[in-house]
Structure 1
Amino acid sequence: MKKKVVSLMLVLAMTVSMTACGNKNNAADDANAVEDTEAGTESGSSEEAVAPANYEEVSAELYDKELGDFWAAYQKADEAETVSEKFALEAIAEAKLMESGVMLPLQSKGGNYSISRVAPYTFDYTLWGNDMDRYHNAVVTTELIKASDVSTMRAKWAELKGTGEYEAWAKSYLEEQGYTLKDTYNYQLYTQDPTTWDILATSQAVDAEAIVNTYDGLMEYDGEGTLQPALAESYEVSDDGLTYTFHLRKGATWVDSQGRKVADVTADDFVAGMQHMMDAQGGLEYLIEGIITNASQYISGEVTDFSQVGVKAVDDYTLEYDLEAPCTYFTTMLGYNVFAPMNRSFYESMGGKFGVEYDPDAADYTYGKDSDSIAYCGPYVVKNFTSKNTIVFQANESYWNADHINIHTLTWVYNDGSDATKAYNDAIAGVVDGTGLNTASVAAAKADGNFDDYAYVALTDATTYSGFFNINRNQFANANDTTKAVSSQTEEDAARTKQAMQNVHFRRALAMGLDRGAYLAQQVGDDLKYASMRNSYTPGNFVTLEEEVTVDINGTEKTYPAGTYYGQIVQDQIDADGVKIKAWDPTANEGAGSSDGYDGWYNADNSWEEMTQAVEELAADGLTIDADNPIQMDVVYASSSEVFTNRANSLKQSIEASTQGLVQVNLVAAADNTDWYYSGYYMNYGYEMNYDFCDLSGWGPDYGDPASYLDTFQPEYAGYMIKSIGIY
């Protein structure tokens, strides 16, 4: 998301183009649910934004003030002696993050009506990593699959999960029902061009979602959630848990975009890939800091000799990773692009260099600039890329597993989201093989009789799209082009808003004042407005305790039995602190408990209570807030989209009503998706963020530990999402 950063446009794209905030990024059971997309590559014409004086000092002070409780709690998790204790302490830290009000969880991917020709669960459904964007094993039919058959197949998947038999059963079942299988897949998630083809130098989902189909990693999750060998045939772990040794398969090759052999895949490709990833620092390097020996030191420059980093080619087909400490989730990270291989000689032929000599701006550096400047070792090569039109992936004839892929041509079809029913019409016509349904396309499907037969509700996943409050705004037009998304605030307005945003009760008032149900209904309709709604950053059922754990909740020891959900501990800490947020509801999900499917934040009375306290505290600091002197809050939105426009207006209406006129929401129109992304999602630093509240991005996990979420709010540039609140 890092890969994981996924843009909400994409989740909206689900409504608009129906595909979405990653991730990776399809809904858990198919590729046609809410997805994430990223900003385009165009740059503006103005000068580059410059960090204000004392920016780092101010960032540090604000972090300590607004997120100090979270950070103190989170650091305790590092001292845990067991995995379960670590999860429990992370839950306490997450409670502090929720209470800070710097961010507001909005929704997950999925939870929308969809139609599809893709059999559910025929590619990876795990909640982390890049494998969910690999489509070589997708089972696709020429006809739309009936909703009743989707339900039958989901039930059978649950029965067969872990046996390795589901894919074959799905093919047989579909043929028995009269469907015709095909070896092409027209994918409808493409709303922005990839910004690079270098998988190791990007943290953008829009890039990873495409490039992941061009290479294989060491291991790969299958459609049943089982980690399978890919370029590694086997591995073993040392008794002390510090050394992982992978044995690579022989016969895997690298080819160029024309399919001509470049080299054999060897262990050195993984060494070269990791060094390039650390050199490029594209935003994902944090994943291996503190995990792989000397990774942090190499990234910081303390170590310059890469041979001291814990990744080594023992021989051509033996790869070794040395860890700083045992890491229980290490193998769950292997599907993520930080572990992608890269052929050293091909990279160098494209002007690439390593270490201090790395210079992506050099005149002769062309690696990853287009799809012809990378080497391929995965199931596909890019045969055609027409900007904002199509991307065509053709089966790689030299792929080591070429005889066992289902899809031989994967075509991405572009949709800018300006026509709310285009995706639906394209799906019916067979231009694309599935799409999510927004309110306009639901109406169309009902009108032409397709809704009852084919519409089903897409499953949700672990991606969390959130809103972010800017506590240190410095930019009042897009940083890449100051003629775009221009604020109407005066200097006095801006100063007043910044002061108010630095009050926790003010932020909570805004968060509790947003009617997220009405807001999401603009996208999916009233009947599904709660289906994808999320109330915590980490899904409450993401992990459970493996053993009994006792932790301190505000001075009282509380013991949790094995099997306790992460979300329950989050909620217990929130309740103990007296904050009126329901991040976990044990009665949700038919009594199983969940952090999804209800609105645990919105309450106009609670919002006003928080606002009253904020007004009193801010008045004591010299800031008057009343009906004649409301706080101005800018929200940038994509005016080219009817869905996004309606959503923005819903946000404005509910927040202004809940705060009883003490906050005026200014909707700042971005002409298109690209300008919208450049208001924040696509920027690198907090001082470049052009908004007071942003609702266009989210995060999907990189591995199976809540730390994958919580790490994004670390201080001192270490946390990827921290920039979204205007600091670092």
Structure 2
Amino acid sequence: MKRVIALMLALLMVLAGCTGGKQPTTAGPAEVPQEYRTVYSGEITTLNYLTTASTNEFALAANFVDSLIDYDRYGVAQPCLATEWKLSDDGLVWTLKLREGVKWVTHEGKEYAELTAQDFVDAMKYVLDSKNESQTANIAYSVIKNAEKFYNAEITDFEQVGIKAKDKYTLEYTLEKPTPYFLSMLTYVCFFPVNGKFLSEAGDKFGTDNANILYNGAYMMETYEPQTRRVLAANENYWDKENIYIKKITQTYNKEAATLAPELVLRGEIDYAELPSSIIDEWMKDETKKDKLRPQRTTFYTYFYCFNFDPKFPAEFEPDNWKTVVNNLNFRKSLFHALDRKAAMLTSEPYDPEKRILNTITPKNFVDLDGKDYTQIGKLADFTNTDSFNSKLALEFKEKVLTELKGKAKFPVKVLMPYNTGMTEWTNRAQVIEQQMENLLGTDYIDIILDPKPPTGFLKDVRRAGNYAFLECNWGPDYADPETYTDPFTPDNNYNWPHLAEGYKEANGKNTYENMVNAAKAEVLDMAKRYTLFAEAEAFFIDQAFVIPYAAGGGGYLASKLNPFESQYSPFGLSSERYKGQKVMEKPMNSEQYTEGLAIWEKERAEALKAAK
């Protein structure tokens, strides 16, 4: 048996607890009231963490339910609900020992039951029941033995699925094949537990409100008043409650949250606001405001513009015509080279736009191969190192399209581009893109139609509904492997992605990109070959202009009373969404404090990662 117990003992000496480690001195004096107040405009549509794939929703779930492992503030794996684990010699069976005495409680803090291994089995059975329409089931069934067969009803006996409660506190996963990144998947919602008895009692009401879920994490949702407020209270029955410093989190609904938040921070009414680019100059020039302002770290969320190959929008926007042109490679390439990403990014990052712009789907510094960044492997490096914006090429492709589609398509092409009105910068960016691309390509060629949509339900009503032609989309990694950035583009995700593009079907009935990705997924022993195959697939995907890579998440500027170097850190999963381990400071951190803190954190992180290895 192979085991990482020695590693875990070393980690525990370096970093105590789930989020431990030395805390920065910027946390502020102990007498600062530990209540954290924010405003929001996008209401959640469910608290059912076993079905949602929305960041807005699982960010809450991360604070309500713990995961088997967690990541500390340096990004080092830590015991959480599992205290130890081992892997079989063949790389197929993971056995995890659970923490004893962990309690499930109601939203009122009343003890309901003890957490057991069966809770993970019951949760996975729910996720893999296709009738429940879990948006993350594909992540689980991509690795667990027989899980996809159960999901597709090819087998009906759940005992054949590779998850077992060996005893009250021992959980076992059997995988379809060795999966080097499996441990990193365990912080994602489809691997969260649920109490089976409560789930059965709640039935269809599970996750419909705060009273219809249970909590074993750091916080409970004490109050849930949709489009009014949400109040999270520290869980006094939490197994690691000494590391919960913020006792109350109040989130108040305001449809103008993005616009009003900076002023509310200045008035001391809330503790966090992202600053729209339109006011950054004003804050920079005002010494009082500037002292409350700091940069925001970029994240591993990736943003890209998507072409819809299965348009479901109203007839007035000419979906049939759109389907004709979007299946023309030169049309996609004309838009691919026409989008000036720097001009678009200036709406969010006016001071340093280059730091967020991406030429690939997988961001830099996510994973490496023997010290070589994944984005520099093979042909993918050509895209990584080249700006896609090229007005000359854009116009050349336009001329090809006008010749190829003469008499087959109507020009100008109506390009329906919805945007989320809850985000000021998205609104501004949509307008910039409309003007910039129409000015370059000509209004005789494209007519970009902006379609403002409310923030609540945007993902469901626009992206998943196919109610767009051209749309800014994003994706966050779920585990530590390039495969995670291919997940949104598989047929299983039903996001109207390019598996529906015409002209790419191969002999096995799948399209070229899907076959390339499947070949990469199949390689689980030779990591150099695996990464190379994924890089080739991504390079093909970009070369065929199925999407237009745009940017990394984060960046910009904000005012916040939370110290970013206290928060848990992980590029994937939900650890970084947790409030555990953080303190509310007396006043927002300024840019100078941030720069100093970042340098210290980066040095400490390098040491922590070295110790972990």
Per the normalisation by structure 1, the TM-score is 0.63
Task: Report how far residue 462 of structure 1 moved.
Answer: 1.0
Q: Which residue of 2 aligns with 1:508?
A: 333
Separation in 2, partners of 1:661, 1:242: 57
- Deviation of 1:171 (Å): 4.3
- The change in CA–CA distance for 1:267 and 1:443 in structure 2 (over 3 A counts) is same
CA shift, 1:379, in A, is 1.1
Alignment correspondent of 2:268: 430
CA contact (8 A) 2:135 2:493 kept: no
2:146–2:160 contact (8 Å) kept in structure 1: yes
CA contact (8 A) 2:44 2:456 kept: no
Q: CA–CA distance in 1 between the matches of 2:242 and 2:423? A: 43
2:492 paired residue number? 718
**Which residue pairs with 2:468 in the alignment?**
691
In the superposition, relative to structure 1, how do residues 467 and 384 fare at CA in structure 2: closer, same or farther (>3 Å)? Answer: same
**Alignment partners' CA distance in 2, 1:565 and 1:426:** 41
State the match for 2:374 in structure 1. 566
Aligned residue identity for 2:376: Q
Output the CA distance in 1 between the equivalents of 2:274 and 2:287: 16
CA contact (8 A) 1:245 1:318 kept: yes
Q: Which residue does the alignment assign to 1:385? A: 224
1:396, 1:402 within 8 Å by CA — same for their partners in 2?
A: yes
Q: Which residue of 2 aligns with 1:186?
A: 37
What is the CA distance between 1:346 and its match in structure 2? 1.2
Q: 1:111-510 maps to which residues of 2 (within 5 A)? A: 163-164=14-15, 169-172=22-25, 174-175=27-28, 181-188=32-39, 190-279=40-129, 280-351=132-203, 365-417=204-256, 420=259, 422-446=260-284, 448-476=286-314, 488-489=316-317, 493-510=318-335
Distance in 2 between residues matched to 1:306 and 1:675, nearest whole Å: 33
Q: Contact (CA 8 Å) 2:44, 2:57: kept in 1 or not?
A: yes
Following the alignment from structure 2 to structure 1, what is the Cα–Cα distance between the partners of residues 89 and 423?
56
Match for 1:601: what amino acid? S
Report the AA paired with residue 506 of structure 1.
Answer: F
Deviation string for 1:383-414 (max 9, x for gaps)? 11121232111111111111222222122233
- What secondary structure sits across from 1:523 in the alignment? coil
- Give 5+ residue unaligned stretches, structure 1: 1-159, 352-364, 477-486, 547-562, 576-582, 586-598
Contact 2:48–2:208 (8 Å) recurs in 1: yes
Q: TM-score, normalised by structure 2?
A: 0.74
**What is the SS of the residue equivalent to 2:50?**
helix
* Contact 1:218 1:229 (C-alpha < 8 Å) held by counterparts: yes
- Aligned counterpart, 1:125: none
Instruction: Give the partner amino acid of 2:438.
Output: E
The 1-side partners of 2:457 and 2:200 are apart by 35
Aligned residues of 1:702 and 1:708 also touching (Cα < 8 A): yes
SS at match of 1:372: helix
Aligned partners of 1:459, 1:233: CA distance in 2, in Å?
31
Aligned counterpart in structure 1 of residue 477 of structure 2, from 680, 696, 701: 701
Aligned to 1:648, the other structure's residue is in SS state: helix
For residues 363 and 76 of structure 2, the distance between their equivalents in structure 1, rounded to whole angstroms, comes to: 21
2:454 is the alignment partner of 1:666: no
Confirm or deny that 1:606 pairs with 2:393.
Answer: yes
Unaligned 5+ segments in structure 2 are 1-10, 502-509, 511-613
Secondary structure of 2:112's counterpart equals strand
The letter for the 1-side match of 2:492 is: A
Q: Deviations over 1:260-305 (max 9, x none)?
A: 1111111101111111111223111111224111101110001111
- For residues 274 and 449 of structure 2, the distance between their equivalents in structure 1, rounded to whole angstroms, comes to 27
1:707 offset after TM fit, Å?
Answer: 0.5
For residues 50-89 of structure 1, the aligned pairs below 5 Å read: none
Against the structure 1 CA distance between its residues 711 and 271, is the aligned structure 2 distance closer, same or farther, given a 3 Å change threshold? same
Distance 1:413 1:640, change over 3 A: closer
Distance, in Å, in 2 between the alignment partners of 1:438 and 1:544 is: 34
Change (3 A) 1:162 1:223: farther
Q: Share of identical aligned residues, percent? A: 30
Q: Secondary structure at the match of 2:355?
A: coil
Q: Distance in 2 between matches of 1:645 and 1:712?
A: 24
Listed one character per residue, the Cα deviations across residues 684-722 of structure 1 (whole Å, up to 9, x for unaligned) are xxxx31222112x310010011101113222xx324544
Shift of residue 524, structure 1, vs aligned partner: 3.4
Alignment partner, residue 98 of structure 1: none
Q: Quote how far apart the aligned CAs of 1:214 are.
A: 0.8
Q: CA offset at residue 319 of structure 1? A: 0.8
- Taking structure 1 as reference, are residues 248 and 474 closer, same or farther at Cα in structure 2, changes over 3 Å only? closer
Asked if structure 1 preserves the Cα contact closer than 8 Å seen for 2:412 and 2:447, the reply is no
One-letter amino acid of the structure 2 residue matched with residue 651 of structure 1: I
Sort the Cα spacing of 1:724 and 1:256 in 2 relative to 1 into closer, same or farther, 3 A: farther
Q: 1:520 to 1:277 in 2, by over 3 A?
A: same
**Structure-1 residue corresponding to 2:554:** none
> Counterpart in 1 of 2:349?
524
Label 1:444 to 1:414 Cα distance change in 2 as closer, same or farther (>3 A).
farther
Match of 2:603 in 1: none
After superposition, give the CA deviation of every residue in 1:346-366 in whole Å (9 maximum; x if it has no partner). 112223xxxxxxxxxxxxx32
8 Å CA contact retained: 2:43, 2:456: no
Shift of 1:515: 1.6
Which secondary structure does the structure 2 equivalent of 1:466 belong to?
Answer: strand
CA contact (8 A) 1:512 1:601 kept: yes
- Check 1:333–1:639 CA distance in 2 against 1; reply closer, same or farther (3 A cut): closer
Shift of 1:376: 1.1
In structure 2, which of residues 339, 351, 366 is the aligned counterpart of residue 542 of structure 1? 366
Contact 1:679 1:691 in 2 (8 A): no
Which structure 2 residues correspond to residues 86-105 of structure 1 after superposition, within 5 A? none
